[in-house]
Amino acid sequence: MSPRLLAAALAGALAVPGPIRADAGPFVRFRGGGPATTDCMLVTEVAGATGVRAPHCTDGDPACDDDGVADGVCRFRVRVCLDAVDDSMPRCHADVVTGATVTSKATTAVAPLKAAVASLPSPVIADTCTAPIVVPVARRARASGRVVLRARAVMASGHADRDRVVLRCEPPAVGGTTTFATLQRKIFTPSCALASCHGAAAAGGLALGADVAYDDLVGVPATNPAAQAAGVVRVVPGDPAASFLVRKLEGDLAPGEGDRMPQVGAALPAKQLDLVRRWITAGAPATAGF
């Protein structure tokens, strides 16, 4: 597409209501990370999404999928809010936002949201959001899909808020009754999320408590230096052999990649290892059965 035609397409995509005041509704707020003192200067809100750190949606769930149809694409309704000071972030200081940007490798899917953020008038001195924009996230067969949003807001003080939000589209359940919650209950909580291991201590930068385990595993690079240098990821949806979690649990490790897990107690039984492998093979769904 030529630059002129692309510009025309983006202009058409922005034929939506202008900036709106933040209000109550079905939107769930995701901060996106960054220093506590600036983390409220830019937040991402996603309608009907679940998840602690990353917005999750099951394909076809009308609460979060805009068309409510299980068709291989979750259509997230997303809005970006600037200067979103509220009581949930008491350490965040009010400031004047002078500009904001959104980028993503999913260029086409995110183009309307990017343009909506760019069109917000500056400076921003009160909680102001873009209109809701639909961001499509495709999945493949029984595997989940994701789109990573990277956003940045700059302030008159010279500070900046840099955020990373991952939109995850999960496949719908097909008769399966075993879920990630089953793994949490049977494996991670009793064997891994111990105070001195992957509980409060978060050994190796990995926390496996019930509220953070999924977001700390799926698509997250390993922090072990040898594994990180090799580009190894903790859980690769659809590929248990490439997932560092499986290799750690089975003890199939390269030099420098540490010890078999769990270190406390016996190795996991074969049935529990099979549950982990089945979950990853099914696309590592957050809530869907497998």
Regarding whether 113 and 82 lie in a shared domain, the answer is: yes
Same-domain status, 156 and 199: no
CB-CB contact of 80 with 115 (8 Å): no
Q: What is the pLDDT of residue 274?
A: 85
Predicted local confidence at residue 15, as pLDDT:
40
Last-in-domain residue among 139, 170, 201: 170
Q: What is the pLDDT of residue 211?
A: 85
Provide the pLDDT for residue 252. 84
Regarding whether 15 and 141 lie in a shared domain, the answer is yes
Determine the Cα–Cα distance for residues 249 and 269; give it in Å rounded to an integer: 10
Helices and strands (H, E) in the chain, number of each type: 7, 10
pLDDT per residue rounded down to tens, the chain (290 residues)? 333 333 333 333 334 444 443 443 489 999 998 888 999 999 999 999 988 788 999 988 888 999 888 889 999 999 999 999 888 788 888 899 999 999 999 999 999 999 999 999 999 988 899 999 999 999 988 889 999 999 999 999 999 999 999 999 998 876 556 788 888 888 988 888 787 788 776 778 888 888 889 998 999 999 899 888 989 999 999 899 899 999 989 888 889 888 888 877 778 888 888 889 989 988 999 888 77
Same domain, yes or no: 19 and 137: yes
What pTM was estimated for this model as a whole?
0.57
Q: What is the pLDDT of residue 289?
A: 78
Domain that holds residue 96: 3-170
Q: What is the pLDDT of residue 259?
A: 86
Query: For the chain, what is the domain count?
Result: 2
Give the position of tokens 């970006």. Answer: 80
Please list the residues that pair with 76 across neighbouring strands. Answer: 135
Residues 94 and 217 in one domain: no
Same domain, yes or no, for 28 and 166? Answer: yes
**Exposed (0-12), middle (13-18) or buried (19+): which is 167, by Cβ within 10 Å?**
buried
Give me the pLDDT at residue 195, please: 79
Q: Are residues 23 and 162 in the same domain?
A: yes
For residue 8, the model assigns a pLDDT of 35
Positive or negative: CA dihedral 118, 119, 122, 126: negative
Contact 36/93 with Cβ under 8 angstroms?
A: no
